[in-house]
Chains A and B, each alone.
Chain A
Amino acid sequence: MRAARIPFTPYLLILPAIVLVFVVALYPMAYALHLSVHTSELMTTGAFVGLANYRALLSDPGTLWSFAASVIFVAGSVGLAILFGLSLALLLNEKVRFRTAFRASILVPWIVSQVVAAMVWRWLLNADYGPVASGLLNLGLPRLDPLSEPRLAMWVLILANVWRSVAFPMVLLLAALQGIPENLYRAARVDGIPWSMTFRHITLPMLRPTLLVCVVILSLSDFNIVALPLVLTGGGPLDATDLASLRLYREAFSDYQIGTASALAILLFLVNAVLTAAYLRSMRART
């Protein structure tokens, strides 16, 4: 009797976890897949239409631009966040003064909500009463309204996002820097290796696994970002910052096009899946 009961116990124990994963992850995904092949009629699921939603999406230049905008946004955000994050980590790894206060001040943007961050940037860059615009005016420079300038809006969005997320690569890279054995640098100094060579041939290779992890995690979160662009630019001006994630949000929650939104969600999911696979690979390479 006892022997027969044992095989069930492990399954019983992981049952809650399985149920949870099913309820919050697998079921919604399957449901989204289901929705994406049906029409949507005001909060109810309509008729089966096969891949029509996908076809409509992919033949709409707006969607294609959304994905292009997302790629520009992610590439710019991730590149700059890692560049600044690495610079800050290198700086903080030295024994600079006010190190703790400095580190805390960089962490602040990370913990404020995206909505608050967006509001702060809107206020900063407001053409009529924002400090940046009035500062420029006082210097005799022309009025600046980057948020209504299609070419500048994307840069503002990227900068705001970098400002918000730079703490993440900084913290990770700082930890990685501190994990590099001090003796490697001592050996390099005794051997007369110049600073630039030390950085290129010792520091960067030692940081490589962490850099990879940063790239993938930041890309994942930037691809799915909604609140920051929604509040900061709303996708405008003239769709200049209409990211795929933002478009998905709009299709679903302001246009109630649940079918198209679901199809878009599935496409985004594929991008995420690729990034996650890359993440898992980089983690494996690390060990």
Chain B
Amino acid sequence: MAQIELRNVGLRYGEQTVLSGLTLNVEEGEFLTLLGPSGCGKSTTLNLIAGLLEPTSGEVLIDGRPMAGVAPRDRRVAMVFQDYALYPHMTVYENLSFPLRAIKLSESAIRDKIAGVAQALAITALLERLPKALSGGQRQRVALGRALVRDPGVFLMDEPLSNLDARLRVAMRAELKRLHQQLCTTMVYVTHDQAEAMTLSDRIAVLRDGVLQQVGTPREIYQRPVNQFVAGFIGSLGMNFLTCHLEQDPTGTFLRQDTFALRVPASVAQRLVQQGGDFVVGLRPEHVVIGEGVDVDLRANVEVVEYLGSETLIHLRVGDTVLVGKAPAETLIVPGQHVGACIAHASACIFDAANGGLLATDTDGT
């Protein structure tokens, strides 16, 4: 097991800055996920930890030791590549034994080790096959196996599930989680799939254009995203954003757009008034509950209805934006209908319209 520290790490290719000022700690035994859109520098970060790239500024430490000039092989890291990087002309057994032969382990020790790993990953029957004769999921397990046989201090995984179909991905996700719980090895996992990040991680680090946006537990990131980018990236449907202006009347302070209004508690209201300008209210779809009742906050026209089986998504037209809400699966709402919606005020996020930063989540008044 190992602990990793990135201190103000930056990487440039000539004029192009790929990573800047990245400071990040990965604790011993932790499962940390790097999450972000394509091209944001996730693989680059992984390569920096593995030693396949050297940072142009800042430093990488493993177990407190600066890694500058330390070759990948001396970092005790194992990496699973996005395309698995299995040696195509070697059988599964040869693939698994290759790193062990490099450290001149005896044939019998190699055989025992591979037998153990193959059993754990259920690939014993595949040992004599070539990679091209394996399915995607089997290849992925072999790639994992090649990392496992080395007893590394850190596992680095670059989107290992992205080549699999949706169902297999969910199965392998659980498999990975089980494996981590069993081994307790430090794990740095790269993905652009927020669902993977949410389900697997102890903590998530969200990157955008080479800049770290937020690090936190899945819960923290889901409930208190530091800015609109993180809010929109996390959650299977992203967050609804409504640009609102502040309105005060004798009954209280409101953030309003068209028929939408969010009552702001006094403590928050004061700060918003001081700040001035426009604000963006962020609401997750599950916090916009469609249905009639006494506490309807909003009435709007239905534009699109998406039936998902377990529930129904309703797209409402509010002013110049679309607000996605949820309704029970059995509701019979049709496009064009005028419906009511309940807003879970306590869960709304308020962002600065100018820079997208989080100003408050309604409940805590911070």
**Quick check: is A184 within 8 A (CB to CB) of the other chain?**
yes
Given the known interface contacts A191-B73, A191-B150, A192-B73, the answer about A186 and B52 at a Cβ–Cβ threshold of 8 Å is: yes
Q: Bound state CA distance, A184 and B146, in angstroms?
A: 13
Query: Which of A64-72, A112-120, A194-202, A257-265 faces chain B?
Result: A194-202
Q: Bound state CA distance, A12 and B341, in angstroms?
A: 74
Interface residue count for A (Cβ, 8 Å)? 18
Contact partner, B81, options A186, A194, A206, Cβ 8 Å = A186
Given the known interface contacts A186-B52, A205-B89, A206-B89, the answer about A191 and B99 at a Cβ–Cβ threshold of 8 Å is: yes
- B76-115: CB near A (< 8 Å → 1, else 0) gives 0111011101011110000000110111000000000000
**Quick check: is A190 within 8 A (CB to CB) of the other chain?**
yes
Q: How far is the CB of B359 from chain A (nearest CB, A)?
A: 43
Would you list which residues of chain A between 13 and 47 have a CB under 8 Å from chain B?
none
Given the known interface contacts A181-B83, A186-B85, the answer about A193 and B102 at a Cβ–Cβ threshold of 8 Å is: yes
Q: Is the CB of A189 within 8 A of B102?
A: no
Q: Is the CB of A189 within 8 A of B83?
A: no
Would you list which residues of chain A between 166 and 203 have a CB under 8 Å from chain B?
181, 183-184, 186-194, 197, 201-202
Q: How far is the CB of A198 from chain B (nearest CB, A)?
A: 9
6 A-B pairs closest in CB distance: A192-B73, A191-B99, A183-B85, A187-B85, A205-B89, A190-B72
Contact residues in A for B118 (Cβ distance below 8 Å): none
**Quick check: is B288 within 8 A (CB to CB) of the other chain?**
no
Q: Is the CB of B50 within 8 A of A190?
A: yes
Q: Bound state CA distance, A188 and B102, in angstroms?
A: 10
Contact residues in A for B90 (Cβ distance below 8 Å): 201
Q: Is the CB of B72 within 8 A of A189?
A: yes
Q: Bound state CA distance, A193 and B150, in angstroms?
A: 12
Q: Is the CB of B72 within 8 A of A192?
A: yes
Q: Is the CB of A190 within 8 A of B77?
A: yes
The interface centre, meaning the residue of A183, A194, A197, A205 with most chain B CB atoms within 10 A of its CB, is: A183
Contact residues in B for A194 (Cβ distance below 8 Å): 102
Would you list which residues of chain B between 142 and 174 have a CB under 8 Å from chain A?
146, 150
Q: Bound state CA distance, A121 and B287, in angstroms?
A: 85
Given the known interface contacts A197-B102, A206-B89, the answer about A190 and B83 at a Cβ–Cβ threshold of 8 Å is: no
The interface centre, meaning the residue of A184, A192, A205, A208 with most chain B CB atoms within 10 A of its CB, is: A192
Residue of B nearest to A193 (CB): B102
Q: How far is the CB of A272 from chain B (nearest CB, A)?
A: 30
Q: Bound state CA distance, A194 and B83, in angstroms?
A: 22
Given the known interface contacts A192-B103, A193-B98, the answer about A187 and B150 at a Cβ–Cβ threshold of 8 Å is: no
Contact partner, A183, options B51, B74, B81, Cβ 8 Å = B81
Contact residues in A for B150 (Cβ distance below 8 Å): 191
The interface centre, meaning the residue of A181, A191, A192, A197 with most chain B CB atoms within 10 A of its CB, is: A191
Q: Is the CB of A187 within 8 A of B81?
A: yes
Residue of B nearest to A206 (CB): B89
Contact residues in A for B71 (Cβ distance below 8 Å): 189
Contact residues in A for B82 (Cβ distance below 8 Å): 183
Contact residues in B for A202 (Cβ distance below 8 Å): 87
Q: How far is the CB of A184 from chain B (nearest CB, A)?
A: 5
Q: How far is the CB of A248 from chain B (nearest CB, A)?
A: 41
Q: How far is the CB of B187 from chain A (nearest CB, A)?
A: 15
Q: Bound state CA distance, A283 and B79, in angstroms?
A: 34
Q: Bound state CA distance, A195 and B127, in angstroms?
A: 26
Q: How far is the CB of A134 from chain B (nearest CB, A)?
A: 49
- B50-73: CB near A (< 8 Å → 1, else 0) gives 111000000000000000000111
Q: Is the CB of B85 within 8 A of A193?
A: no
Q: Bound state CA distance, A177 and B83, in angstroms?
A: 18
Q: Bound state CA distance, A191 and B102, in angstroms?
A: 8
Q: Is the CB of B102 within 8 A of A192?
A: yes
Q: Bound state CA distance, A244 and B85, in angstroms?
A: 48
Contact residues in A for B72 (Cβ distance below 8 Å): 189-190, 192
The interface centre, meaning the residue of B74, B81, B103 with most chain A CB atoms within 10 A of its CB, is: B81
Q: Bound state CA distance, A277 and B90, in angstroms?
A: 27
Q: Is the CB of A191 within 8 A of B83?
A: no
Q: How far is the CB of A192 from chain B (nearest CB, A)?
A: 3
Q: Bound state CA distance, A115 and B34, in angstroms?
A: 63
Residue of A nearest to B103 (CB): A192
Would you list which residues of chain B between 195 and 251 have a CB under 8 Å from chain A?
none
Q: Is the CB of A184 within 8 A of B52?
A: no
Contact residues in B for A201 (Cβ distance below 8 Å): 87, 90, 98
Contact residues in A for B77 (Cβ distance below 8 Å): 190
